[in-house]
Chains A and B, each alone.
Chain A
């Protein structure tokens, strides 16, 4: 195994659902001779694509977990992370983007830039992942790759430029013209493995020349040498043009666009060439870690094997030999028999077995140098953990994890299911940071929470299939919150002198709305509240934040100011002041005009234009505010903000309204105040629930 990172590419393939990324990955593996037969996602042979190894994925035709796989192309080693396309699993996408050096953005030549592509593109921007685009499905009716390029520019703000033009579209799609080499490429043979290089057909020459001009024009921005050559009207060499395009792509200022049809085996090999020629090697990407010993100051990592090891566990899987941990090594190397430390727990770990993954087969290796992606066995950790050499205190940046917005009560059907359920929950919450589980103290119910209805549904399904745990589910619950809207003062004395030692504490001040979740501000002067009791006051107030006094939703955005009080030399204690704080909060809270807030989701519905009316009507019925409708010829997309509470079961409603032709995505937008009528209803329900518990 080589350690030269120059020839390594860690790439991801991300796209909107049903743009064909799993099919594309399948073809890539076939041409790189990792697999020897092609099985399609919803193929008739029932085998399913190689990357979709989970049973559920095969059934639903969607990819849930990102399997990492390894292949070789023309002397380059390519690690591919197949990422899920549904918005409910974006944490998976984000986590994979973190370990990638480059990405292929797959777009459908008919659907173009769809809502999910926009989300994925924003994530790529956040992690600064350079990308190339692949316009897939050029064989489909209504294919229009140049419209998609326009959309890349207008909707995603990419400086997109065509590297190829298609030879024939829809059923006539035969191949592509490479604008760098100025040659036509046809793909023949049973699976398109034979590439024929020919002269450009005469009827396309003019267009090819014009598009090449555009390509050179965009590339001149990134190379002075190229600009000079163009100005002096010298011929532009292939290498010169490619290096200029590469420079632009690495800075994310130019997006080279490839096209073809993975399903019809057109253009995939040229895309692979593009990956090796235009996307960065691990050494060309700047990765930073946080130094725990220096107040989390950022440290730049170097992709060198002789430095101390820093590696990140980005994905866990439950295999037949125990937990499989996918890791990316950023610095140093991981070798069999080495000892590393898990920074989060501080535990020492001995590396037993290292493997390189290919979907559900694996290959044993002895070491994993910096820049590579692999997996290890038998290590107990959570995803997102950092492994380092002893003595190093670096951690990879804590990944941005959104708070769950929906929760569901689940109960096992029988005793056997109970044990399996707890096993499954333990595993899932380790695998997926957006999936949380806890037991409600009062109702004794097990609650799971996550990012959407489908997110939780998939986990319940997995529990049933993989862990043989049958569970019954309650109605989904929305994560409401409470906050205050105005300043209110408090002045409270806690006094108790019945038996034993007495308790005495007085606190005074005010509470008011603020931006942060909770701020405690002590402005006590003259020691009216002795310094040693101030932390107790803070604790007392903070404990109140977990649950509102009336509705029992968590409280946020409250600033508590303590500016006066009194104590007693004998009877004052931590406990007394905590109780005083609690009493003071209960006194001030109702006066501060509390309101309930609910999560509002940004919903984008994509529908054929003829169903625009019913689709908008359905959003409107759900208390949605429709921001706008975007007409894109055959399809149109409607953007709206809708409360999550109203979105349950929406996919079924939308499907029946539009003959199954529309789809929608949603993501959390903001917490907003609940309208008065709804607030009263929630209060009523909360009161009922309280009674039931009592």
Chain B
């Protein structure tokens, strides 16, 4: 036994050395401190394993600067959980996310993040959650508005407040709770201009209704007047006991790719293959 071990160790070590030292002459090596190492690896790990990246075909953010994305579902299916995972995915890559909620108070939105991150960490067995949380929280800013008080000029004013003082400059915006039942073309038009000017992608959540038949292109009827503004639309559909994530528009979900689903127990995105 002893002999085998002593032989095995140098072998293993040399193999690992070979793997760890690829010929990278062009790039200066980045020093990762021992204390940091865990956290950096952990973040990488969470990003790599995140099935969400399957939705993004070109960029990591699924949608590019100035573009709109929509998450569609009926009430209570998990829109917020999904957009928060999209947000966390960006935050883990050190991108700033501005989360705008039109119906929940700040504390509750914050709880959503803690909960989703906690479950993600649990799923991937990441242990020092506090540290991870502390490193990603500065990348997030929550704003809440009353639905009637929300408008693009107001958002612009707040954003200028934040950016001019160097408090926070977002790389991505999430707008949760914008009602699409009324006429939204004006608000969205203004937001589109703002998004293009600032070069920010914006995600919306859209509540669909059971009693309304979708338009011919598969998108819900209330999105029809403004559908040209959206580059990506992802729908959550509950089929039997699972919630399928279906790209209605914009995402190149290849046939060969596994189907993505939202686990109804944890509200996390998973590959159906893993199930």
Interface residues of A (CB under 8 A from B): 154-155, 485, 593, 612-613, 616-617, 620, 625-633, 637, 639, 672
What is the CA–CA distance of A613 and B99 in the complex, to the nearest angstrom?
18
In Å, the complex CA distance between A627 and B105 comes to: 11
List residues 28-70 of chain B with CB under 8 A from any CB of chain A: 35
Asked whether any CB of chain A lies closer than 8 Å to the CB of B107, the reply is yes
Contact assessment for A628 and B106 in the assembled complex, using a CB-CB cutoff below 8 Å: yes
Shortest distance in angstroms between A439's beta carbon and chain B's nearest beta carbon? 36
Q: Closest 9 A-B residue pairs measured CB to CB?
A: A628-B142, A613-B161, A628-B106, A617-B165, A631-B145, A630-B144, A620-B167, A630-B106, A629-B143
Q: CB-nearest residue of chain B relative to A632?
A: B146
Residues of B within 8 A of A620 (CB): 165-167
Contact residues in A for B164 (Cβ distance below 8 Å): 613
Interface contact B105-A630, CB-CB below 8 Å: yes
* Bound-state Cα–Cα, A295 to B168, Å: 53
The answer to whether B149 and A633 touch across the interface, beta carbons within 8 angstroms, is: yes
- Give Cα A291 to B161, complex, Å: 58
Is B141 positioned at the interface, with any CB of A under 8 Å from its CB? Answer: yes
Residues of A near B143 (CB, < 8 A) are 628-631
Known: A626-B167, A629-B143, A633-B149. A616 touches B162 (CB 8 A): yes
A616-B161 CB under 8 A given contacts A593-B35, A628-B141, A633-B146: yes
Chain A residues with CB below 8 A from B144, complex form:
628-631
Q: Kindly state the interface size class of chain B when it binds its partner.
A: 20 to 34
Within 8 Å of chain A (Cβ to Cβ): is B217?
no
**B158 adjacent to chain A (CB < 8 Å):** yes
Q: What is the 8 Å Cβ interface bit string for chain B, positions 148-177, against chain A (1 contact, 0 not)?
A: 010000000010011011111000000000
Contacts from B to A (Cβ < 8 Å)? 35, 99, 105-107, 109-110, 134, 137-138, 141-146, 149, 158, 161-162, 164-168
Known: A155-B105, A485-B35, A633-B149. A627 touches B110 (CB 8 A): yes
Q: Which residues of B contact A625 (CB under 8 A)?
A: 137-138
Closest CB in chain B relative to A220 CB, distance in Å: 24
Closest to A147 in B: B146
Residues of A within 8 A of B167 (CB): 616-617, 620, 626
Given A485-B35, A613-B161, A616-B162: A629 touches B146 (CB 8 Å cut-off): no
**A390 to B153 alpha-carbon distance, docked (Å):** 72
Q: In angstroms, how far is the closest chain B Cβ from the Cβ of A530? A: 36
Q: Please report the C-alpha to C-alpha distance between residue A620 and residue B149 in the assembled complex, in whole angstroms.
A: 25
Would you call B165 and A628 a contact (CB within 8 A)? no
* CB neighbours of A617 from chain B (8 A): 165, 167
Contact A672–B165 (Cβ < 8 Å): no
A555 and B161 alpha carbons, distance in the complex (Å): 41
Q: How far is the CA of A626 from the CA of B109 in the complex (A)?
A: 14
Given the complex, which residues of B lie within 8 Å of A629, measured CB to CB?
106, 141-144, 158
CB distance from A518 to the nearest CB of B (A): 20
In the docked arrangement, what's the CA distance between A631 and B162, Å?
15
CA of A521 to CA of B189, assembled, Å: 65
A626/B141 contact (C-beta < 8 A), A613-B161, A616-B161, A639-B107 known? yes
Select from chain B the residue with minimum beta-carbon distance to A113: B105
Q: Is the CB of A626 within 8 A of B110?
A: no
When distances are taken between beta carbons in the complex, the residues of chain A under 8 Å from B166 are 620
Cβ contacts under 8 Å, B162 to chain A:
613, 616
Q: Can you list 29 A-B pairs with a CB-CB distance of less than 8 A? A: A154-B105, A155-B105, A593-B35, A613-B164, A616-B161, A616-B162, A617-B165, A617-B167, A625-B137, A626-B141, A626-B167, A627-B110, A627-B142, A628-B109, A628-B110, A628-B142, A629-B106, A629-B141, A629-B144, A629-B158, A630-B106, A630-B143, A630-B144, A631-B143, A631-B144, A631-B145, A631-B146, A633-B149, A672-B134
A612–B158 CA distance with the chains assembled, in angstroms: 8
**Chain A hits for B165, CB < 8 A:** 613, 616-617, 620
5 new A-B pairs (CB below 8 Å) besides A613-B161, A616-B161?
A620-B167, A627-B106, A628-B109, A631-B149, A633-B149
Q: How far is the CA of A637 from the CA of B143 in the complex (A)?
A: 10
For the complex formed, measure the closest distance between the CB of B176 and the CB atoms of chain A, giving whole angstroms.
13
- Residues in A whose Cβ lies below 8 Å from that of B141: 626, 628-629
Q: How far is the CB of B53 from chain A (nearest CB, A)?
A: 27
A-chain residues with CB within 8 Å of residue B146 when the two chains form the complex: 631-633
Q: Closest residue to A157 on the B side, CB-wise?
A: B108
Could you tell me the distance in whole angstroms from the C-beta of B231 to the nearest C-beta in chain A?
28
Most chain B CB within a 10 A radius of its CB, from A154, A629, A672: A629
Q: Which residues of B contact A631 (CB under 8 A)?
A: 143-146, 149
**Closest beta carbon of chain A to B267's beta carbon, Å:** 21
Bound CA–CA A485/B38 (angstroms): 13
Q: How far is the CA of A628 from the CA of B98 in the complex (A)?
A: 9
Contacts of B149 in A (CB 8 A): 631, 633
Q: How far is the CB of A426 from chain B (nearest CB, A)?
A: 40
Query: Is the Cβ of B168 less than 8 Å from the Cβ of A626?
Result: yes
CA distance A592 to B106 in the complex (A): 38
Chain B residues in 8 Å Cβ range of A630 = 105-106, 143-144
Q: What is the bound-complex CA distance between A593 and B36, given in angstroms?
A: 13
